[in-house]
């Protein structure tokens, strides 16, 4: 644990507490459920940031960073659903489970497509192996001398 993790720890505790306070304020209200899910998403974001900062090895930090980026991707969808329910339900379409599922699946589909697109694009952008050193390796080796 380092000093840079302290603001993320404070933010996590605050977000976690507020999420459960909102949820238990009225557990039957869809607005409270979705707003607490949004705030809980921010708390998970803070938790993964804590893991990135406190991780001693690269694999742990990479896993926490992947969780962080997934949360960043899905949080706006939760916010859209919560905003349709607050302060009152705007229309019957938005309270439909199919609409909510579609809004939540849209970022997941886009994320899957981006992974497919970047993996197929990476073979075109991959550097061609050569027998000479790259310029960045030469610059790095010169700066260490």
pLDDT at 14 over 90: yes
The pLDDT, as a whole number, for residue 142 is 46
Has this prediction a pTM greater than 0.85? no
Q: 119 falls in which pLDDT band (50, 70, 90)?
A: low
Domain boundaries of the chain, sorted by first residue: 3-123
Place of tokens 């609409």: 99
Average per-residue pLDDT for the chain: 77
3-state DSSP of the chain: CCHHHHHHHHHHHHHHHHHHHHHHHCCCCHHHHHHHHHHHHHHHHHHHHHHHHHCCCHHHHHHHHHHHHHHHHHHHHHHHHHHHHCCCCCCCCCCCHHHHHHHHHHHHHHHHHHHHHHHHHHHHHCCCCCCCCCHHHHHHHHHHC
Instruction: Report how far residue 82's alpha carbon sits from residue 86's, in angstroms, rounded to the nearest whole number.
Output: 6
Q: Dump pLDDT digits (tens) for 45-69.
A: 999 888 888 887 888 888 888 888 8
pLDDT at 129 over 60: no
Q: Which of 133, 20, 36, 19 is nearest to 82 (CA)?
A: 36
Please tell me which residue, 47 or 124, carries the higher pLDDT value. Answer: 47
Instruction: Report how far residue 48's alpha carbon sits from residue 54's, in angstroms, rounded to the nearest whole number.
Output: 10
Count, residues in the chain: 145
């Amino acid at each position: 644990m380092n000093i840079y993790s302290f603001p993320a720890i404070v933010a996590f505790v605050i977000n976690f507490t507020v999420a459960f306070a909102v949820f238990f304020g009225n557990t039957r209200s869809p607005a409270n459920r979705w707003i607490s899910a949004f705030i809980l998403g921010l708390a998970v974001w803070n938790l993964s940031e804590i893991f990135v900062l406190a991780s001693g090895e690269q694999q742990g930090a990479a896993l926490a960073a992947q969780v962080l980026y997934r949360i960043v991707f899905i949080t706006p969808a939760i916010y859209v659903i919560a905003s349709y329910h607050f302060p009152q339900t705007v229309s019957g379409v938005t309270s439909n489970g199919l609409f909510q599922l579609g809004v939540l699946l849209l970022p997941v589909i886009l994320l899957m497509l981006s992974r497919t697109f970047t993996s197929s694009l990476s073979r075109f952008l991959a550097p061609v192996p050569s027998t000479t050193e790259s310029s960045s390796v030469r610059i790095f080796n010169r700066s260490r001398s």
